[in-house]
Chain A
Amino acid sequence: MPLLGTLALWLAFLVGLWGAITGFVGGAQGRADLQQSARHATLALLAALAIAVISLEIAIFRHDFSVAYVAGRTSRNLPTFYLWSALYSGQEGSLLFWAAVLSLFAVLAQVLTSRRHRAFLPYVAGVTSLVATFFIGVMLFAPANPFTRLPFTPLDGSGMNPQLQNPGMVFHPPMLYLGYISITIPFAFAIAALLTKKLDTEWMVAVRKWTIVSWLFLSIGLLIGMWWAYVELGWGGYWAWDPVENAALLPWLVMTAFLHSVMVQEKRGMLKKWNLALILGAWVLSIFGTFLTRSGVIASVHSFTESPVGYYFLAFLVAAVAACTVLYVTRLPLLEAEATLESILSREASFLFNNLLLIGLAFSVLWGTLFPIISEAVKGVKITYGVPTFNFVNIPLGLVLLLVTGIGPLIAWRRASTANLKRQFALPVTAGVFALLIFLVAGMRDVGALLAFSFGAFVLGTVFQEFARGARARHRQYGEPTWLAVFQLLSRNRRRYGGYIVHIGIVLLFMGFAGMAFKTETEATLRPGETAELRGRDGHLYSFTHLGISQYNTLNRYVTAALLEVKRDGKAIGRLRTEKRQHVDALGNKTFEPSTEVGIMSGLRVDLYVVLAGLVNGTEQAVFRFTINPLVWWVWFGGFVLVIGGLIVLWPGGPATGGTTPPRSQAGYAVKLEPAQ
């Protein structure tokens, strides 16, 4: 199997090279035979990489410890569930996984793109093949070959890091990868458009769905990653501005900016240069993130170990940036805008500000991530840009962005009149001010949280008004009952109303983030029967009674579990268990350091979060950390809503004809954003 895998990699490498050459040459010379060959090459590439992936999975499932990768990541007693994820739990395997997924997307791009955009396809095949070949090349030459054999066959593997043995870690990496990798498709189309000089809005229509696909997968990947950090790492939060997290957030921010500004181009023929730059930038950031997390340049709690792989990525990054810049600059004259900004009170302007804020956020995150290196190079001293600094910069920016989320949809395209503005803003502003007053009266004094709740109410007011007006219009015109009218709005104008659903998700996420301002925490050493108390900022007094310790063996670990009785204001609301796990190999020898399993009781208002820190001298006296995290549930629920909204936008099929198409000159809420499909 390992031999077959290595052969498949070599085959993939050669096929990829061929695909890249035939794609570019075939496209440039207009030779149909070469173009056809490039298309076939993407298929062959997928087949070869699929064989490599299957070979590795077989080696993993057969416990073939003669393969270094298998011996280093798995063991005989690793639960089957995690054998699957072993494929991408290490450097070499994740490179293979990356290349394989890219080749799958490359084939989909060839197959699913409609006939109208055929001219781009040879170049798209060329770009995707080239990028895939790079990844395969790294595996073969860095070397980071997942099929490398050990000189001997160990009896057992060294096992998987316990922190990766969590359901979140099975789904989080593939989701994030799908997002990261699928950015290559819009990027390939952008390069194709630049090369063919077909720089009208056409190519963007071709890739619009792809950009939403990437954005959606990135969102899901980020959310599952946050959830994993929350339930597995045990420090009580879900986001720490770690370089690895930032690396995933950067392309997400840029893609979000693109999804908004692309509407301006479709509608008004403006921002062509900007949109193209965003797509190129998002892709470069995805490669940059890969470089960052694999090179050891930036110390991160969960980065890959230092390896020469980083240099390959750095070289690739530099070459790609240079090539993109040259290509972009030579095509700039073809990217003149067809219209100019007519008024600052227009949808266009609000999208521009939204973009500036998103890119500003991305820049501050990038700067903060690189700051230790920059400060060392410039001042000779390493200065950290820690969580407080990130929060200091990004919370205000995020709040303004939230405000703009509510403003944008209320302003008409081109130019909004004063009467129109009054009509549009009355309800949402009332909602925002009302929420502000309620929370002020309730005694909330945290400025950030107050603004988040107030702006959130404003955005919700905006979304509600949009739905209400749309539904009323349908009701008047077709006599549809409200529920049907809302459903029809969603299904006939998926992009716009799905987008509003995403906005609701964003508001809920911000509510959850704001909740973290009210976190309370205590640590206590308890004997069985003893109780610790902690008052949450929701006004309730929570008490935790230590019921006792149990120790037992299960699967691949020794478990020390503590059971706690939880009461709210003296009334029992349930029990929590938290564990310390010592993972062992098949012979019972300890592997890895003990890991913590957090006990969480999740609710709409607060999460009770308990960590067992250890036992005192092996007795049942135990040390706990108790945290009350308000509103965390809303982060996951907001994420869910956001994904649903994204799926609505993505649902196949164009808007049905025969619906209402109000004149464009009307207020923003009545304008359809879709071009004819």
Chain B
Amino acid sequence: MKAGTKFALGAVLIIGSVGYLMASGIKQTGQYFLTPSELAQHVSTDPSFYDLGLKVGARVVRGTVSKDVASQTLSFHITDGTVNYPVVFKGLPPDTFTDSVEVVVEGRLQRDGVIHATNVLAKCGSRYEAVPKA
């Protein structure tokens, strides 16, 4: 076999594994990113969306945040203007988490209609003028 052919085989192997890794990576670890409305719509047509790990991007409803510092539980409501979901999060919220901030909630919507979050990311407020990387 010629060196060029051998190299081509190696190249196909590498490119193939990159592709395979990406495809199976998304299958195993990719998550839906939905708005509350989209989530409500999906849940109503397909109950498998309950207890499925996903991310929900929305805004915290002003005045719904309650923190129990001792048990480190945070509960609040999120909305995209039409649909509203309660969220329970056990852990420390990021510094930027406040009333009415935009958040990405990572977790599972359970049958009781509450999103049990495993992670809460807060989008920095309007005054946040970024880290000028890039």
Contacts and interface: CB of A to CB of B under 8 A. Distances in A.
A234 B70 contact: no
B95 A386 contact: no
24 contacts: A94-B132, A161-B127, A161-B129, A169-B131, A176-B133, A234-B95, A247-B134, A248-B133, A290-B134, A301-B123, A301-B124, A302-B124, A302-B133, A304-B132, A305-B128, A363-B18, A381-B34, A382-B32, A388-B29, A393-B25, A525-B70, A613-B72, A613-B92, A623-B72
A364 B30 contact: no
Interface stretch (A120-128, A258-266, A353-361, A482-490): A353-361
B31 interface: yes
A385 interface: yes
Nearest to A229: B131
B134 A344 contact: no
B47 interface: no
A525 B57 CA distance: 30
Interface string A592-617: 11111000000000000001011111
Contact of A371 (B26, B70, B95, B133): B26
B22 interface: yes
A615 B96 CA distance: 17
B72 A594 contact: no
A422 to B, nearest CB: 20
Interface of B: 3-4, 6-7, 10-11, 14-15, 17-18, 21-22, 24-26, 28-34, 38, 55, 57, 69-70, 72, 91-92, 94-98, 104, 121, 123-134
A342 B33 CA distance: 49
Interface of A: 72-73, 88-91, 94, 158, 161, 163-164, 169, 172-173, 176, 180, 221, 225, 234-235, 244-245, 247-248, 289-290, 292-294, 299, 301-305, 340-344, 346, 349, 352-353, 356-357, 360, 363-364, 367-368, 371-372, 381-386, 388-390, 392-393, 396-397, 523, 525, 592-596, 611, 613-617, 621, 623, 625
Given A161-B129, A360-B18, A293 B134 contact: yes
Nearest to A164: B131
Contacts of A364: 18, 21-22
A71 to B, nearest CB: 12
Contact of B134 (A90, A289, A299, A346): A289
Contact of B11 (A94, A356, A615): A356
Given A163-B131, A357-B14, A386-B55, 5 more contacts: A173-B133, A353-B14, A383-B30, A385-B25, A593-B125
Contact of B6 (A72, A158, A245, A344): A344
B132 A385 contact: no
B21 A392 contact: yes
Contacts of A356: 11, 14-15
Given A344-B3, A381-B32, A593-B95, A304 B130 contact: yes
A247 B133 CA distance: 9
A446 to B, nearest CB: 18
A280 to B, nearest CB: 19
A393 B18 contact: yes
Nearest to B26: A389
Contacts of A342: 3
B70 to A, nearest CB: 6
Given A302-B124, A349-B7, A356-B11, A367 B22 contact: yes
B43 to A, nearest CB: 14
Contacts of A163: 95, 131
Given A244-B131, A594-B95, A614-B69, A393 B22 contact: yes
B72 A523 contact: yes
